[in-house]
């Protein structure tokens, strides 16, 4: 199924590239190209919106995900209505008037898409993380506001554009800022139950829409005639953006409901450096504007140029210092959550993860189970063979467990010779199957020493059960198993 859908998406991408090459070739006909572009975009938008509403109505998806796709689909539907209105005007009047009722549909799409993006199931964050996120979004949006003012809005104001046409002309860049803030939220936060390809496709779609909108404003500001081939560039970008949204909806609609609990993020590298890139861009714009103003004054020109170079060097130095600090911070964080002997997660991280997973399991009405296990006669083995052999046994025990679990399951060393496993999306019956599989693997992988083996206790989350009571249930079951699972 996925190979077929990916093949269809690749085919559509090839068609858009072929269309672009044809448009700018000597054989391209502008009127026919406009027709093909409008029809192609409309059909793609209809399919995307239909799939979005399908996701919103599908009860097997988590409620936040359904709500998010419902709002995104409403935004796309407004875009469809606006595009259909534009086609109607073009067929009846020979041109699309500005402003008109279709602008109301297009402008309504911006807040709806933003609301949908902000409704996606983001991972829980601490208050200080939310504050940092809001500051990051504010910085990026303000930087982009400065650019839009310098290149678009400021020119409109200076040109004396007023009335409804002026307001709508300014409203489109403001709508782009709304979409941009949603895009930054996608980049800066972790999502639950949304695969990275879906996240990338959504972000690419929003970026292409913003780019196309800005290009429309620039071409309009330079009075590029509709008969020019350049006027089709925004349409091609809109088409590519719709393809990105279509890819996101197809992948989400066909997503399995299992093993999607892990959190995903856009790009750790981009997340780390996005704000600094935005600030540097704003400083570069301000520097160019200032140098342009004082170019005739050699004294001020050299002074500002030198100050700008010094500032740039300081920022570059600070950037590398921050990178080193982040590297050290990651090392400390890794040490804080990792057991030094086995390389597995430690008890502190396990406790925090279990609390979070219990909340998520109740929120999404999904099963969650726990395994607790220890090594039978480990003390005798450690005393008779020595601590190095005992340490190696613990490492082997942990790796055998980890190698027989799914990626989304979590294994940790609880203390001494005790290990715990959190099983995502696993009910009581399947938990027993997993326990028997692990017991068999441990029996085959551990040293053949009399009395050496593993006792495994199982527990499945029940309504109103706390993390401590779930652990106690698994611990009690583990001790009940001991008489039966000795070698």
In tens, the pLDDT along 321-349 reads: 877 887 888 888 888 999 989 999 999 99
| pLDDT for position 351 | 92
Q: Please say if the pLDDT value at position 40 is more than 60.
A: yes
Residues 424/408, Cβ–Cβ less than 8 Å = yes
Q: For 366-371, what is the mean pLDDT?
A: 93
Q: pTM for the whole thing?
A: 0.67
Averaged pLDDT, 405-412: 91
pLDDT of residue 422: 95
CA dihedral 167, 168, 170, 171 (to 10 degrees): 110
What is the CB neighbour count within 10 angstroms for residue 165?
Answer: 13
Q: Which contiguous run of DSSP H or E holds residue 374?
A: strand 368-376
Which pLDDT score is estimated for 259?
41
Q: What's the pLDDT tens digit per position in 98-117?
A: 788 898 999 999 999 999 98
The answer to whether residue 43 scores a pLDDT higher than 70 is yes
Instruction: Give pLDDT tens digits for 412-440.
Output: 999 889 999 999 889 999 999 999 999 89
| Confidence at residue 485, expressed as pLDDT on a 0 to 100 scale | 46
Residue 450 has pLDDT above 80, yes or no: no
Q: Taking residues 1-10, report their average pLDDT.
A: 74
Q: What is the mean pLDDT of residues 450-479?
A: 89
Q: In whole angstroms, what is the distance from residue 378 CA to residue 390 CA? A: 8
Q: Which of 180-189, 263-272, 471-480 has the lowest mean pLDDT?
A: 263-272
Tell me, what's the pLDDT at 266?
A: 60
Q: Look up the CATH superfamily of 347-484.
A: Reverse transcriptase/Diguanylate cyclase domain (3.30.70.270)
Position 260 pLDDT exceeds 60:
no
Average pLDDT of the segment spanning 476-481: 88
Q: What b-and-e string marks burial along 305-336, b requiring 16 or more CB atoms within 10 Å of the CB?
A: eeebeeeeeeeeeeeeeeeeeeeeeeeeeeee
* Region of poorest pLDDT, from 153-162, 300-309, 381-390: 153-162
pLDDT-derived band at 74, boundaries 50, 70, 90: very high
Cα–Cα–Cα angle for 297, 300, 303, rounded to 5 degrees: 145
Tens digit of pLDDT for each residue in 284-293? 888 888 877 7
State the average pLDDT over residues 137-166.
79
Cα–Cα distance for residue pair 371/380, rounded to 1 Å: 24
Looking at every residue in the chain, the average pLDDT score rounds to 84
pLDDT at 128 over 80: no
Topology of the domain comprising 2-262: Rhopdopsin 7-helix transmembrane proteins (1.20.1070)
Catalytic residues: 417
Question: Of 69-83, 183-197, 303-317, which one has max mean pLDDT?
Answer: 69-83
What is the enclosing helix (H) or strand (E) of 455?
strand 453-460
Answer whether residue 302 shows pLDDT above 90.
no
Length of the chain: 487
Question: What mean pLDDT do residues 19-29 have?
Answer: 84
pLDDT for 414: 93
| pLDDT given at position 372 | 94
**Three-point CA angle 373, 374, 376, nearest 5°:** 135
């Amino acid at each position: 199924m996925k190979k077929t859908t990916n093949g269809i998406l690749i085919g559509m991408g090839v068609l858009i590239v072929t269309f672009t090459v044809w448009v700018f070739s000597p054989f391209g006909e502008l009127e026919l190209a406009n027709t093909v572009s409008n029809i192609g975009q409309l059909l793609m938008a209809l399919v995307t919106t239909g799939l979005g509403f399908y996701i919103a109505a599908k009860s097997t998806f988590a409620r936040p995900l359904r709500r998010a796709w419902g709002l995104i689909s409403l935004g796309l539907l407004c875009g469809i209505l606006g595009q259909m209105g534009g086609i109607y005007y073009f067929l009846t009047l020979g041109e699309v008037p500005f402003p008109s009722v279709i602008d109301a549909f297009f402008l309504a799409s911006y807040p709806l898409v933003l609301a949908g993006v902000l409704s996606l199931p983001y991972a829980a964050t601490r208050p200080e993380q939310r504050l940092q996120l809001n500051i990051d979004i504010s910085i990026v949006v303000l930087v982009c506001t400065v650019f839009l003012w310098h290149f678009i809005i400021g020119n409109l104001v200076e040109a004396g554009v007023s009335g409804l046409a002026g307001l709508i002309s300014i409203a489109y860049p403001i709508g782009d800022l709304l979409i941009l803030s949603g895009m930054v939220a996608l980049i800066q936060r972790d999502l639950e139950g949304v695969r990275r390809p879906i996240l990338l496709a959504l972000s690419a779609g929003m970026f292409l829409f913003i780019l196309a909108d800005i290009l429309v404003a620039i071409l309009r500001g330079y009075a590029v005639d509709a008969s020019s081939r350049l006027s089709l560039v925004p349409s091609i970008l809109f088409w590519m953006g719709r393809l990105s949204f279509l890819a996101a909806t197809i992948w989400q609609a066909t997503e399995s409901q299992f093993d999607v609990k892990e959190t995903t993020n856009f790009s750790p590298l981009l997340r780390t450096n996005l704000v600094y890139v935005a600030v540097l861009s704003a400083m570069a714009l301000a520097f160019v504007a200032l140098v342009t103003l004082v170019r005739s004054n050699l004294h001020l020109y050299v002074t500002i140029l030198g100050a700008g170079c010094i500032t740039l060097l300081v920022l570059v130095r600070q950037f590398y210092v921050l990178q080193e600090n982040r590297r050290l911070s990651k090392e400390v964080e890794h040490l804080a959550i990792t057991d030094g002997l086995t390389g597995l997660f430690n008890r502190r991280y396990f406790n925090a993860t279990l609390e979070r997973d219990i909340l998520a399991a109740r929120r999404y009405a999904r099963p969650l189970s726990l395994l607790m296990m220890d090594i039978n006669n480990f003390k005798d083995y450690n005393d008779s063979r020595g601590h190095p052999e005992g340490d190696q046994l613990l490492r082997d025990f942990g790796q055998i467990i980890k190698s027989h679990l799914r990626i989304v399951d979590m294994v940790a060393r609880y203390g001494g010779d005790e290990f715990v496993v959190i099983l995502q999306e696993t009910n009581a019956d399947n938990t027993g199957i997993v326990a028997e599989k692990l017991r068999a693997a441990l029996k085959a992988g551990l040293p053949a020493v009399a009395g050496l083996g593993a006792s495994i206790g199982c527990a499945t989350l029940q309504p109103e059960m706390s993390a401590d009571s779930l652990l106690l249930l698994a611990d009690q079951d583990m001790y009940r198993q001991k008489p039966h699972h000795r070698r």
